[in-house]
Structures are given as structure tokens and as C-alpha cells.
Amino acid sequence: MPSLLLLRSAPGLRRTVAAAALLLVGACTMGPDFAKPQVAAPADWSSWRSGDAALHEALPHGAALPESWWTLWGDPVLDGLEARALAANANLASAALHFAEARLERQSAGSALLPQVDAKGSVTRNRLSENGSSTRLFDVIGTSAERDEMAKFLANPFTLFQGGFDAGWEPDLWGKVRRSLEAGDAHVAGEAALLDLTRLSVASEVARAYVALRTVQRQIGYTRQDIAALSEREAIVDARVAGGLEDHTALETEHNQLAALRANLPTLQASEAQWLNALAVLVGDHPGTLQGLLGDAGAALPRTEPDFSPGLPSQVALARPDVRAALAQLHAATAQIGVAQADLYPSIRLGGSFALESYKSENLFDWGSRSWSIGPSLDLPLFDGGRRRAVVKLRKLEQREAAVAFQNTVLKAWQDIDDALNGYAAERQRHAALSARLASAERTLALVEAQNAAGNVNALPVLDAQRGVLAARRDLVACEGDLRTRFIAINKAIGNGPRTDGEPAK
């Protein structure tokens, strides 16, 4: 082998290679090692709470929330929309591409640990100048005729055959590559967390839009029933005015109420169209495509909310995708300090080349056609105007900034969790009160209908009692929508959703 021949014949080179080997053995990793920050958490869900103690009710004791928490409602239409959105949403596709790019960048950075080998080959047709630098020697030897003859011989066109390879390897003496890979792994983990965050956001938005759509569709139905009941009441009052039992003031009051109720209907219908369009965009489709699927105004989610357990407080905050992304950014910023510090120290590159060269094709592979070189090269930074040290300071400041951002993200997470729990508790209490109101309104209607059947009252009190039931149902429907939205907010606040495999590509 050429390298063995060179080492046997070059004692100085052997000493150089030995020194390089000693440097490699004594290699170290610059920069601080990453240590995950300690994150404080409450002992239970009754701690770290704000607001009135009435909102700090004990959570229902149920099973842990599944990643696909929307399936707890048992609505196949919603399940289908979630599946379509997770497969076709544009924002989610963009986040998935960022994650794939991060994996490939990390894979590319890992190649720096391995030797680089390049093969080369060429066949060229050449002609040298008769009066070029290569013929200067002929001017001092021989006669003028001999000089011209030799120059013409060298100037004859010829074909040059070349082939060989170059190899090089830079030992990672100060851990620059290792720290770069560490930062790359953290970047992959961060992009995986951001992908999870996007997936959770998309799933939450689909569920929220679907709940809002079904809520407004039920409100439209109740509003139409109320318009029908009020129209019937208006007709009765009109007949009573014609019979002299009522004055025109009573009739105008009915006209006023009916006009106000009818004016509210187009607003509800516009809201329905808005939520239909929002769902279409979320599933990656154009407006109008979901009309046939979701146009059934009678469809509704189950009225009861599932019992659930949000998990251990000590684990919930760190499970949030945004907290995991902030932690990964802190890890990457810590590793980048080592990368910058490694640039302060010398680097050694071990390289070699071997080639065959001949102007006769039949002699290209003869041993005498070989040429080679081997040896280390040293890069020693001497003066750069303080640029490298400034970069080290900059990386340390970026790490401190990432640490502050991480702590702020954790605090924001606990704020979101407390807000979500308080909102859910408030809606549960409001739902109970509105359910009691509806039950009372239904009992009132039953009593009035019984009185009307006995001939004790006319139809107007019955219509008023019916409208009271419709009003109670409209308010309860709105509350049920808000309660489901609060349930969505809890899952989003605790970061509950499908997770991505954040391992770097191999």
C-alpha cells in the first residue's frame, strides 16, 4: 500500500501521525453538558389555583384521557372530519415537512464524523506551446535546430489518462461535531414537538368548529320553532283586537317581538355558513364541500360530558408540545456553546491522495504511473479580531435567552391549565342551573296545558309557556356548546394529543 511505503520511508511523517493520534486520544468535548431544568408542579389539582374557591371543585375520577379525546363523544361524523384534517391539513403538512427537514439536516451533520473519499478520473487531449515555459530549458542546451526539434516534439498533441482518489478525515478533537449532532438531535426533538403542537391545534380547531356548528344549527331550529309559536300568538292577538278584546298596542307589541326574532335568524344562518367554511379549510377542501355531510340541523353531540382524569400535575406541563419545543431549543442553544468554543482551538485534517497518470492508455495501470501524497494539515487560529470569542459570548447569551423562554413557557402552561379548569368548572355549574331552569319551564308548560284542557285558560298562556321552554332550551344548547369547548380547552392546555417519534434519522 502507498501509505505503508510512505510511513516506512519518512520517519518525520511517522512522528507527525503519532502526534496526531495522541491528540485524538486526548480529545475532549467543549462546552457545558445539558441538564434538564427542574420544573415545579403542584401536588394536586386543587393547588396553584386562582379565582373563587367555588370553581376549584374536584375533577371527575375517570379514565385517563386518550390521545384522540374527541372520540369520547362517540360522533362518527366528527371522527371522520378529524381523520381528514390530520391527513390533509395544509399547516400540518408544512409542520411535517419541517420535521423531515430537521431529520435530514441531523443526518447530514453526522457525516462529518466519517472520512470523506472522492474518486476522480479524466481523459484529456492536450498540446503544449512550442514557446511556453516548458521549453525554456531548451534555449540553454543544444543547438537552435535541436531546440526546435525538441519543442516540436513536446508540442505534438497527446492524450492524457488520469484516475485516482482523494481521502480526508478531520478528527473531532474538541467535540465540535459531537456538539453539532447534539444540537441537531435537539432540533429534531423541537420540530417533533412543533409538529405535535400543530396536530393538537388542528384537532382542537376541528372539534371547536364542529361543536360551534352543531350548536348554531340547534339554535336555528329552536329559533324557527319560536318564530312559529310567536306567529301563532300574533294571529290570536290579531283576532282578539278585531273582536274588541285587545287594543292595537298589544298587536304592535307582538309585531315588534316577531320582527326582532326574525332579524336574529339570518345572523345565525351566516354563522352556520362560517363554521361550515372553517371546517372545509381545516380538512383541506373548498367552501361548500361539507354542506351535504353537515347540513343536518337536527344532528347533535351527546349532552353528557365524559368523566376523565387529566393525569399527574408533575407530568402534565412537561407533556405540552410547546414546553417540549422550548426545552429542545434550550438544549440546542447549550450545545451550540460547545460548537463555538471548539472553534477557538486548532484543528487537524488527515488527508491523502493516490492517482495513476499516463499519456499512453496501455501504461495507465503500470505501477510506475502512480503518484500519491499523504499527511496531516494543521489549522491554528491566531488572530481574527476577537470574532470567535464574540461568537462564544453570543451563544451563551442565546442559551440564557432560551432558558428564560423555557421558564416563561412553563408559567404560561400553568396559566392555561388553570384557566381551562376554572372555565370547565364554571360551565358545569352553569349547565346544572340551566338544566334546572329547563325542567322548571317544562313543568310550567305541563301545568298550563292541563289548565287549558280544563278550559281554565286560553291558548295564549300555553304559547307563552312553550316559548319559555324554547328559550330555556336555546340557553342550554349554548351552554352545552361552551361546555364542550371548555373540554377541548382542557385537552389543549395539558397538551393531550398524538405524539411524533422524535428520534433522529439513522
Which mean pLDDT values do the consecutive 10-residue runs of the chain (506 residues) have?
Answer: 41 50 62 88 81 76 80 91 93 92 87 81 82 71 71 79 80 85 92 94 95 93 91 85 80 87 93 94 92 75 70 81 95 93 86 80 77 81 87 94 95 92 91 94 93 87 91 92 93 88 45
- Asked whether residue 230 is assigned to any structural domain, the reply reads no
Half-sphere CA count of 499, side-chain side, radius 13 A: 15
Give the pLDDT confidence score for residue 18 in this predicted structure: 52
Which range marks the domain in which residue 355 is found?
1-30+115-170+346-380
Q: What values do phi and psi take at 286, rounded to 5?
A: -95, 165
Dist CA 356 CA 204 (whole Å):
66
Give the pLDDT confidence score for residue 204 in this predicted structure: 95
Give the pLDDT confidence score for residue 1 in this predicted structure: 38
- Asked whether residue 4 is assigned to any structural domain, the reply reads yes
Q: Could you tell me where the DSSP H helices lie in 170-247?
A: 176-242
* Sole residue written with cell 478525515: 169
- Asked whether residue 120 is assigned to any structural domain, the reply reads yes
Give the pLDDT confidence score for residue 299 in this predicted structure: 62
CATH number of the domain that residue 21 is part of: 2.20.200.10
- Asked whether residue 353 is assigned to any structural domain, the reply reads yes
- pTM for this prediction: 0.81
For 87-95, which contacts have Cβ atoms below 8 Å and span 24 or more sequence positions?
88/283, 88/284, 88/285, 89/202, 89/282, 89/283, 89/284, 90/284, 91/198, 91/201, 91/202, 92/195, 92/198, 92/199, 92/202, 94/198, 95/191, 95/194, 95/195, 95/197, 95/198, 95/199
The structural domain count of the chain equals: 1
- Asked whether residue 482 is assigned to any structural domain, the reply reads no
Give the pLDDT confidence score for residue 45 in this predicted structure: 77
End-to-end CA distance of the chain: give it in Å, rounded. 33
Dist CA 183 CA 347 (whole Å):
20
Neighbouring residues of 11: CB distance < 8 A, sequence distance ≥ 6 = none
Give the pLDDT confidence score for residue 502 in this predicted structure: 46
- A 10 A CB-CB count for 78 gives 21
Q: Are 203 and 70 in contact (CB under 8 A)?
A: yes
Give the pLDDT confidence score for residue 377 in this predicted structure: 81
- Asked whether residue 183 is assigned to any structural domain, the reply reads no
Give the pLDDT confidence score for residue 3 in this predicted structure: 40
Distances (CA, A) of 65 to 206, 303, 306, 413, 487: 18, 18, 9, 18, 11
Give the pLDDT confidence score for residue 439 in this predicted structure: 95
- Asked whether residue 151 is assigned to any structural domain, the reply reads yes
- Asked whether residue 142 is assigned to any structural domain, the reply reads yes
